[in-house]
Structure 1
């Protein structure tokens, strides 16, 4: 009997062997996952500054023309000139810096390995890059460096002046006038054409003068000592410089002018120049008409404290005209006028000069509970006048 045999085909044989429990080796082995490489770096242009826009591209396609070349990995450049990204396929890469569609720089034969952290910087100040530039391009770079250097130096100077100004203002606020004077003397020496620096120096000098005068009164010595008067003169000189420089600037500041004139008024009055002080306060009011009431009140108060009572009364009237609701202006007017009150030697009756009683009464009308109300009511009662306002004794 003839036996018949057959040869199992590949698929059939595999199926039968699998059914029979035989295991076949796998023809396709599973590949291990490849860890991506991290690439990052800094891009610096030919002037030595960070390139703040563009992108870094990586490719292994060196044969194609640039316009047809494919770039599988593209990373943007940030405002600091830095870039960062991941390359998932190891290999030897060509890296290029692009701004818009223009290639500026490249590095070839960059070996990128799986899982590595690779730094790739593009420095266009390197010799081989600069050597390829045309003479005209090199000239432009040098001109840019010069201008940029000047701008950098100017910015550094401004930053230092701002720091000194901030330091001096804080010192003035804390009463550390010598520290403020030192800072602003340095600042005005570095930039003598900046008005605000002189004004701040004046503030420090005025504060120092006031402190010296106060100390003299406490020690029962002369607050008009020549050394103290000189401090006020120094402050006035600084304020005037600040005023003149501000006026000569391209954009004069009304705020700076008004503040400087206001402080100048104090410095002049405290050295005995009441006429000059009045002129300064009037100029402050002209610089900022909306604050005229405050400046004229300051004038009146400063003159009253300096003993110039007649001038103080005139200034108080200007303050009242500018701001009829300013109660303290009426108080100063009354104080300036009461010094001229007369006493009848026969009856001992006190007679206040014209306008004095009305000024006191108006103060009480506007500020019946004001800090001076008890004092004013006492003065009126003391000279035989009746308080006509809503003021009631005993109130704060």
Structure 2
């Protein structure tokens, strides 16, 4: 009996150890590749779909795997079961191309679709081929235009860097003038190119004017200086006109262009025209009225047009009460209108003068003009608030 029990136990063990082991699934395959359309361009946003229903009607096929192409026409698919597949490229609901492929376990195959291949093109109708040729021409023109735009953007970037570097030294920017002239010739319908061209001409005018001053020449006696400033005004106006007539005008760019135009006009001695340009800048971009009115006040003040400068300074103060320079200009204009009493030997400033100077000191106590303002106020018998004397922390 003991022998029979042992035999039964051995038989049970045999059953346990000889049970069949489940077969492991084959390793999945992967594919990757590139898709070109019939015009030779990368086909972005297409779907590369895999099916084993090769003999089924197109409407009945099931596609268990689908992979999208990226912006460069590339795709990658993983986790595909080994097998024989019909692989089709779809653009939306339209089947554009196909291939067959056999994938084995662990495969990583490259599967490209080039619809410019001869057999593909021959299968198209004459009308389809004609449309493709027409598209190629348009696409070629677009590629050429994009190259021009890329070059212009590079020119703009370099020019702006050069202008920033030359701003403090009034350096020579003649090469940038030439570059921007070529840019406007290449694409004359772009406002930003004309405005930047104007900036280079303005900077070159400043460079030539500084050289004349160093050589002792009278201001505005150099035709080259006047031409640079005049050409700058023309370029700014061209840029403004293009921007204003565009589908989406940009007020900030128009306002900035008018402001730069005002600077060019003032430096060429056309003060009234400069004032009008600053006024136009305000109309184009009211949010920066304080800065534009201040620039107008500075130009008029430096040209001894006191009444206009005072009016512009008051507008600047109303638009931006925290800008110190308009207060200083107002104080300077009003102090010149002071009266002197022979009996009391005292100077009496007109209304608003002391208040303007006080506000300037409050806003800019450490400004280089501040010591002179304190002297004026002292001469008027005013007590100066000490917190304005050395500046506030």
Q: With structure 2 as the length reference, what TM-score do the two structures score?
A: 0.78
- Residue 121 of structure 1, CA deviation: 1.0
* Alignment deviations for residues 300-353 of structure 1 (CA, whole Å, 9 cap, x no partner): 212334xx11x2541332330453435422322343566688999x99x7978x
**CA 1:203/1:21 → structure 2, altered by over 3 Å: closer, same or farther?**
closer
Question: How much is the aligned-residue C-alpha RMSD, in angstroms?
Answer: 3.8
- Residue 282 of structure 1, CA deviation: 2.0
Query: Mapping of 1:1-396 within 5 angstroms?
Result: 34-71=26-63, 73-80=64-71, 81=73, 82-89=75-82, 91-99=83-91, 102-108=94-100, 110-175=101-166, 177-218=173-214, 220-226=216-222, 227-305=224-302, 308-309=303-304, 311-321=305-315, 323-324=317-318, 325=321, 326-336=323-333, 358=351, 360-369=353-362, 370=364, 371=367, 372-381=369-378, 384-387=379-382, 390=385, 394-396=389-391
**CA 1:66/1:26 → structure 2, altered by over 3 Å: closer, same or farther?**
farther
Count of aligned pairs between the two proteins: 370
- Residue 287 of structure 1, CA deviation: 2.1
Larger radius of gyration: 1
- Residue 101 of structure 1, CA deviation: 5.3
Higher mean alpha-carbon deviation, 29-38 vs 134-143, is at 29-38
Would you say the 8 A contact 2:346–2:380 is kept in 1?
A: no
Unpaired runs of at least 5, structure 2? 1-6
- Residue 120 of structure 1, CA deviation: 0.9
- Residue 239 of structure 1, CA deviation: 1.9
Quote the residue 1:10 is aligned against. none
Unpaired runs of at least 5, structure 1? 1-14
Would you say the 8 A contact 2:29–2:104 is kept in 1?
A: yes
* Alignment deviations for residues 16-69 of structure 1 (CA, whole Å, 9 cap, x no partner): 89659999x979798687443322212222232333345333345444333344
Rounded Cα–Cα distance in structure 1 between residues aligned with 2:152 and 2:295: 30
Rounded Cα–Cα distance in structure 1 between residues aligned with 2:36 and 2:13: 67
Q: Secondary structure at the match of 1:40?
A: strand
**CA 1:337/1:185 → structure 2, altered by over 3 Å: closer, same or farther?**
farther
Higher mean alpha-carbon deviation, 334-343 vs 212-221, is at 334-343
Would you say the 8 A contact 2:374–2:384 is kept in 1?
A: no
